[in-house]
């Protein structure tokens, strides 16, 4: 799809929730990094399966169960194509990126990490890519080490070689920072780690909505993302893992669907991917996620990325012209996240007042407290872009920030 | 300013935010406590000097917070100075009922200057901003604990 054919006004009609007023102003939704809205196609797909085809998957011989199973597995196939995985069975459905990371920590981690080993993460991780590793550290006697970052919010990669010593057994880094917008040079990190035989997990919760992802080209060992940040439903997410890892990992949760044979003495487990999908999965949500992927592919991830980059550039320039505004996260490679502070105005006041102008932004630590500590601030206000945002949205944001500065000074 | 914002951001709030009262370190404090709101990462350090009769002789604070928490802390220090522990407790109890919407307007009268913060009850996400300094004071009066969280 060419640049010119990206018709954002047409696209906005697919998101009826955007057509409303908040405190008397047309809604400007700029909290997409927390969660974004669902196109009608996603709602229709979820409604359709419940109206016509729903039943539990995998175990039934009856028609509805077979239809639901087909659509559920079709959703898995869509995810595989979307991130360019080699096999459907490398796609594990989980609740979200958080659960995906916990699964890897508790299976791969518990069987591969010993006392004195290291897990290497970065200074800009979301709590979801910190806490599961701290839990694993405490369970195994391992250590956590951190790739530091520079003031602009880019990783200090020149320190990576020294950090990647023999004790490191796993690298887990974010593909794109939720608090700063930094796009990390993950291909470099993976190459360096693999040169020492160290596997790499990528947290793709923020990157997947904004860019095309190719897990084989990246050569990452694990990749996680959430459906609700990808214009899909809550309660569904994906763990991608290379077959060789997934086969060697023990199951995580035990229950139905993940077994081959059970007696009271012994259980043998299902093959991939079901070994990691105990219990009835989020069937309707998986099908909704598949519909979200269809929708994104119709627009084209490249076209979405171009649109958002142009908006990011436009917004950055306009916002930096506001006196007293400090942009937090100014790395060269950035996705559509504008984290900022205003001199003398606390981010929570910014959030409340912008809301009164109909502008939805997030204010807080963005589940990245170590990032806030790095900058010596308690919080930031964060505007995050989605595929349906417009130049007018940015104008409204900037105008509202100028209004609120007047109120405060 | 937008009419709809005036309930929360009254001129008195802006005044106390710009020029917080008793915003200083107190060397001779008998109690010092760190208050923390994990929702927003705000921290407040509260200093209290109690005399032998249990009267709050002096109270001051430091820290960085939003306009609501700063104004609330500033107003609190003005109001509780000279009060007994029991009087300060009672004022907080009233304030808490008002800010969490558990009371009618009659009780606003008993709040004095604090009534300017009553608008926070329409903003559930912001109530903790207003009550953080008070939870900290309560903890300082009740115990020797070093840290207090609103959670």
Rg (CA), chain A: 22
Q: Is the pLDDT of residue B144 over 70?
A: no
Catalytic residue among A1, A212, A367, A369: A367
> For this structure, is A367 an active site residue?
yes
Q: Is the pLDDT of residue A337 over 70?
A: yes
Is residue B145 over pLDDT 50? no
SS (H, E, C) chain B: CCHHHCCCCCHHHHHHHHCCCCECCCCCCCEEEEEEECCCCEEEEEEEEECCCCEEEEEEEEEECCHHHHHHHHHHHHHHCCCEHHHHHHHHHHHHHHHCCCCCHHHHHHHHHHHHHHHHHHCHHHHHHHHHHHHHHHHHHHCCCCEEECC
More confident residue, A210 or B37: A210
What are the pLDDT digits (tens) for B65-103? Answer: 899 999 999 999 999 999 999 999 999 999 999 888 887
Sort strands A200-203 and A168-174 into parallel, antiparallel or unpaired. parallel
Least confident of A13-17, A276-280, A353-357, B122-126: B122-126
The confidence band for A293, taking pLDDT boundaries of 50, 70 and 90, is very high
Region B21-31 average pLDDT: 94
Question: Per residue in A31-84, pLDDT tens?
Answer: 999 999 999 999 999 999 999 999 999 877 899 999 999 999 999 999 999 999
Higher pLDDT, B3 or A277: A277
- Please state whether the predicted TM-score (pTM) of the whole model is above 0.90: yes
pLDDT digits (tens, 9 = 90+) for A239-257: 999 999 999 999 999 988 8
In this model, does residue B21 exceed pLDDT 50?
yes
pLDDT tens figures, A152-171: 999 999 999 999 999 999 99
Q: What confidence score (pLDDT) does residue A3 get?
A: 46
Query: Chain A: which residues have CB within 8 Å of chain B?
Result: 23-24, 345-349, 352-353, 356-357, 363-365, 369, 372, 378-379, 407-408
Average per-residue pLDDT for chain B:
88
pLDDT tops 60 at residue A88: yes
Q: Which pLDDT does position B103 carry in this prediction?
A: 76
A85: three-class secondary structure by DSSP: coil
Lowest-pLDDT range, A88-97, A105-114, A239-248, B31-40? B31-40
Angle separating helix axes A391-408 and A301-320, nearest 10 degrees: 30
Interface predicted TM-score of the whole assembly (ipTM), two decimals = 0.87
pLDDT at A1: 43
| Distance (Å) from the alpha carbon of B107 to chain A's nearest alpha carbon | 26
CA contacts within 13 A on the Cβ side of A31: 19
Res. B9: pLDDT tops 80 = yes
Question: Is A2's pLDDT higher than 70?
Answer: no
What is the mean predicted confidence (pLDDT) over A181-196?
98
Shortest CA distance from B128: residue in chain A: A348
The whole-angstrom separation of Cα B92 and Cα B98 is 10
Contacts of B39 in chain A (CB under 8 A): 364
Size of the A and B interface in Cβ pairs below 8 Å: 54
């Amino acid at each position: 799809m060419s640049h010119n054919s990206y018709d954002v006004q047409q696209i906005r009609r697919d998101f009826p929730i955007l057509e409303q007023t908040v405190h008397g102003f047309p809604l400007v939704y700029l909290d997409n990094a927390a969660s974004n809205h669902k196109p009608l196609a996603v709602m229709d797909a979820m409604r359709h399966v419940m109206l016509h085809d729903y039943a539990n998957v995998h175990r039934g011989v009856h028609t509805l169960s077979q239809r639901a199973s087909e659509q559920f597995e079709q959703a898995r196939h869509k995810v595989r194509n979307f991130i360019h995985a080699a096999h459907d069975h490398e796609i594990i459905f989980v609740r979200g990126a958080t659960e995906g990371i916990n699964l890897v920590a508790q299976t791969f981690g518990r069987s591969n990490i010993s006392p004195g080993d290291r897990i290497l993460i970065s200074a800009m991780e979301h709590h979801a890519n910190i806490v599961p590793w701290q839990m694993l550290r405490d369970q195994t006697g391992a250590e956590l080490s951190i790739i530091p970052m520079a003031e602009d919010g880019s990783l200090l990669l020149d320190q990576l070689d020294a950090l990647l010593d023999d004790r490191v057994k796993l690298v887990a880094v974010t593909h794109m920072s939720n608090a700063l917008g930094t796009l990390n040079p993950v291909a470099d990190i993976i190459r360096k780690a693999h040169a020492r035989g160290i596997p790499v997990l990528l947290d793709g919760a923020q990157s997947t909505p904004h860019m095309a992802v190719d897990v084989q080209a990246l050569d990452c060992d694990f990749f996680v993302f959430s459906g609700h940040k990808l214009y899909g439903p809550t309660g569904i997410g994906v763990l991608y893992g290379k077959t060789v890892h997934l086969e060697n990992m023990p199951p995580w949760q035990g229950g139905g669907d993940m077994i081959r044979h059970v007696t009271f003495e012994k259980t043998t487990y299902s093959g991939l991917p079901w070994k990691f999908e105990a219990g009835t999965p989020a069937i309707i949500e998986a099908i909704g996620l598949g519909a979200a992927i269809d929708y994104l592919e119709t627009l084209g991830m490249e076209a979405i990325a171009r649109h958002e980059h142009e908006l990011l550039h436009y917004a950055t320039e306009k916002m930096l012209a506001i006196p007293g505004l400090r942009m937090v996260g100014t790395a060269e490679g950035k996705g559509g996240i504008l984290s900022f502070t205003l001199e003398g105005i606390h981010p929570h006041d910014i959030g409340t007042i912008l809301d009164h102008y109909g502008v939805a932004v997030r204010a807080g630590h963005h589940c990245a407290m170590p990032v806030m500590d790095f900058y010596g601030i308690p919080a930031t206000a964060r505007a995050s872009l989605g595929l349906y945002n417009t130049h007018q949205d940015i104008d409204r944001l900037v105008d509202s920030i100028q209004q609120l500065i007047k109120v405060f000074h | 300013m937008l009419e709809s914002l005036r309930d929360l951001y009254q001129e008195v709030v802006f005044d106390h935010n710009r020029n917080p009262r008793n915003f200083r370190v107190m060397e001779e404090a008998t109690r010092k406590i760190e208050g923390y709101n994990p929702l927003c990462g705000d921290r407040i350090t509260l200093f209290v000097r109690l005399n032998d009769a249990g009267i709050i002789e002096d109270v001051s604070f430091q820290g960085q917070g939003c306009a609501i928490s700063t104004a609330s802390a500033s107003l609190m220090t003005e109001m509780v100075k000279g009060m007994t522990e029991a009087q300060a407790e009672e004022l907080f109890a009233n304030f808490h009922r008002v800010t969490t919407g558990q009371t009618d307007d009659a009780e606003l009268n008993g709040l004095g200057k604090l009534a300017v913060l009553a608008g926070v009850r329409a903003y559930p996400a912001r109530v903790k901003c207003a009550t953080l300094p008070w939870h900290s004071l309560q903890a300082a009066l009740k115990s020797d604990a070093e840290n207090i969280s609103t959670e």
